[in-house]
Structure formats: C-alpha cells, structure tokens
Amino acid sequence: MSLIKIRKKLLTVESIYHEGGPARTDPIKMGCIAVVLHNPYAGRYVEDLSQLVKDATVMAETLVPELLEALGGADKIQAYGKGAIVGLNGELEHGAIWHEAGGWPMRANLPHAKSIVPAAKVVASAGTRLQIPLHHVEACYVRSHFSTMDVGAIDSPRPDELLYALVMSTGSRVHERLGGLRADKISVGDGQR
C-alpha cells in the first residue's frame, strides 16, 4: 500500500518575454509541478525512510510527463531543479527524500541530462515560498542557466504535510550576458563541463 496521499497538485507555467531589455518573440518558459501530500512520518522519528522514497519515486514518474507536456516536450528542456517544503511536524530528512525520488525520474525523461539536479529544502509553515535553483541539464557549470523559480502555496504545507516540487525551464535567464561556459561549448560530458 502506497504512503502517498495527495491533497492537491499545482501546475504553474511562466512565459518570460523580458526583464526590461529587448522583448523576445518566443518566451523562455519556466514550469513547476508540485504536490501537497500527507507526511506519514510527521510527529515521530522513523529510522527507515525507504518506503516513502519508493512511493514518491512512483509519484514523480507520473508528474514529470505532465510538466514536460506543459512546457512543450522533453526536447525543449534546458534547465531543471527540485525542492521540498516540510510542514512543521516533520524533519528536514523528509524533504531530502525528494533528492532521489524527484531527481531520477526527471533525468530519466530527459535524453541529454547528465547534470545533477540542484535542490532546496526547508522545514517551514504554510505559505512559505521556496526559491528552487535551476541549472543546465547537461552541465552544471553553464552559468547562463543559473536561475531560481519561486514555489509555494498559501495553505501549504500544513504541519503534517509535505510539498514536493519539480521545476524546469526551456532556456537560460532571459537576458543572460555574463559569460562563462556556453551551452554550445559543453564538451566533457561529465555533467559538469
């Protein structure tokens, strides 16, 4: 029996045309899919968290295709990240479950993904906003794709809940121009450069 009991799911897509500079005709799209679910470990210490890791991985395998579809398909995705907000009766380790459970399904659906999936997590009250980091899916040192997406819900997570989120982007920052390794210069293939 699965430990996953979802109260709600949120799907958000931002279309970014400009930030004061020249407007793009084809916007950068940033998307987030998040779920608010019951924390089966809230209020108590549990040594073995592996069952929630397994069940959350199965859940993520259904979330990733929905986010990809909202952003135009896997071939459009250039950056990604993940995050968790743990309600106050939980512990940070309940958010860390999402490292493996959320990260591997994203990478499995993106044919060129080699880079580690960056993450943020916090134990906090309902209404907390989390800045989830993103970087390039093929190489984490591609500076143009360092960004964040703001994620949260006014009523979530309640003390005995978790909010797990996955974020993706179809491009770099809209007006990136600070140099560093360019996406078209990725050559090492080690997920870093």
Indicate whether 147 belongs to any domain.
yes
Indicate whether 139 belongs to any domain.
yes
- CATH code of the domain covering residue 175: 3.30.1330.110
Q: What is the pLDDT of residue 191?
A: 79
d(CA 87, CA 108): 29
DSSP H or E segment with residue 57? helix 50-70
Model pTM score: 0.96
Whether cis (ω within 30° of 0) applies to the bond prior to 27 is: no
Q: What is the pLDDT of residue 183?
A: 86
Tell how many helices (H) and how many strands (E) occur in the chain: 2, 7
Q: What is the pLDDT of residue 190?
A: 79
Indicate whether 39 belongs to any domain.
yes
Q: What is the pLDDT of residue 192?
A: 85
Indicate whether 192 belongs to any domain.
no
Residues of the domain holding 60: 6-185
Q: Residues 14-38: pLDDT tens digits? A: 999 999 999 999 999 999 999 999 9
Indicate whether 32 belongs to any domain.
yes
Q: What is the pLDDT of residue 188?
A: 80
Indicate whether 193 belongs to any domain.
no
Q: How many domains does the chain have?
A: 1
Q: Residues 95-146: pLDDT tens digits? A: 999 999 999 999 999 989 999 999 999 999 999 999 999 999 999 999 999 9
Indicate whether 104 belongs to any domain.
yes
Indicate whether 190 belongs to any domain.
no
